[in-house]
């Protein structure tokens, strides 16, 4: 069992974020457990890369003196798995918002998908973040502009897709595994891929499975983390 001093000196915690939790809620839960179960009055804790509420998977948290390592961990390559749904788009590019348009899918074949991915979605690409994201523009988060119904121009940014594998094709659903650089929006890949094959697509499931060498298979849920205290 780790001691209060261990957490103050610095620990890297691998947490499997549950569905519908914000990354902020997950950090607060772990912080509350450390304070209530170990009697710590003050403890620094932060995470190394946000996950959307509709995503699950690996959230790296750093405590105490290890919070200085957060920028280094944030820059690591990420791996995600999930599901795209073809034939419809949403304003948020995922299930946060309702479908706003539908598209034909009859022309979509496995060959077309694989060809488009290999020719247009590998290596360095230009990507526009979703309007429903936390990036700031003109002093406000993009999602605040979106919810206010404001039309704004979003600049594209460079990102790198190291690996992009389609692991199951059962249209209108396609499962994937993507290894990408920091700052990549998988929701935007869904939208852009749908557009590239003359259809539409949105993200219906997302799980972060790796950050650098850290894997979600070694992570524990907040419930597991709490159970470790109550067991002892």
Helices 110-120 and 186-196 pack at an angle, to 10 degrees, of: 120
H-state helical runs in 56-158: 70-74, 110-120, 142-147
Write out the two tokens for 111: 């060959």
Task: Give tens-digit pLDDT for 128-152.
Answer: 887 766 555 556 555 565 555 656 6
Question: Catalytic amino acids?
Answer: 52
Q: Nearest 10 degrees: CA dihedral of 135, 89, 173, 77?
A: -20
pTM value is: 0.91
* Structure confidence at residue 175 (pLDDT): 98
Looking at 111-115, 138-142, 174-178, 203-207, which range is the least confident one?
Answer: 138-142
Residue 86 main-chain phi, psi, to 5 deg: -95, 150
* Structure confidence at residue 140 (pLDDT): 58
Region 207-228: what's the mean pLDDT?
Answer: 95
Mean pLDDT of the chain: 91
Helices 222-231 and 23-38 pack at an angle, to 10 degrees, of: 10
Other Cβ atoms closer than 10 A to 177: 15
Gap between the terminal Cα atoms of the chain: 8
Burial state string for 150-166 with b = 16 or more CB within 10 A and e = fewer than 16: eeeeeeeeebebeebeb
């Amino acid at each position: 069992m780790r001691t209060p001093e261990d957490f103050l000196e610095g620990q890297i915690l691998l947490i499997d974020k549950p569905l519908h939790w914000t990354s902020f809620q997950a950090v607060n839960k772990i912080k509350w457990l450390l304070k209530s179960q170990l009697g710590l009055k003050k403890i620094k804790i932060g995470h190394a890369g946000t996950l959307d509420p509709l995503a699950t998977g690996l959230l790296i948290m750093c405590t105490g003196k290890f919070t200085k390592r957060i920028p280094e961990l944030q820059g690591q390559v990420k791996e995600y798995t999930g599901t795209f749904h073809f034939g419809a788009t949403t304003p948020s590019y995922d299930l946060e918002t309702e479908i706003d348009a539908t598209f034909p899918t009859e022309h979509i074949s496995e060959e077309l998908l694989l060809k488009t991915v290999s020719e247009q979605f590998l290596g360095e690409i230009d990507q526009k973040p979703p309007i429903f994201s936390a990036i700031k523009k003109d002093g406000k988060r993009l999602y605040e502009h979106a919810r206010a119904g404001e039309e704004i121009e979003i600049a594209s940014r460079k990102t790198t897709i190291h690996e992009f594998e389609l692991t199951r094709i059962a249209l209108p659903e396609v499962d994937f595994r993507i290894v990408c650089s920091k700052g990549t929006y998988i929701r935007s890949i869904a939208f852009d891929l749908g557009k590239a094959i003359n259809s539409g697509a949105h993200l219906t499931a997302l799980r972060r499975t790796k950050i650098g060498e850290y894997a979600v298979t070694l992570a524990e849920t907040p419930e597991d983390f709490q159970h470790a205290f109550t067991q002892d």
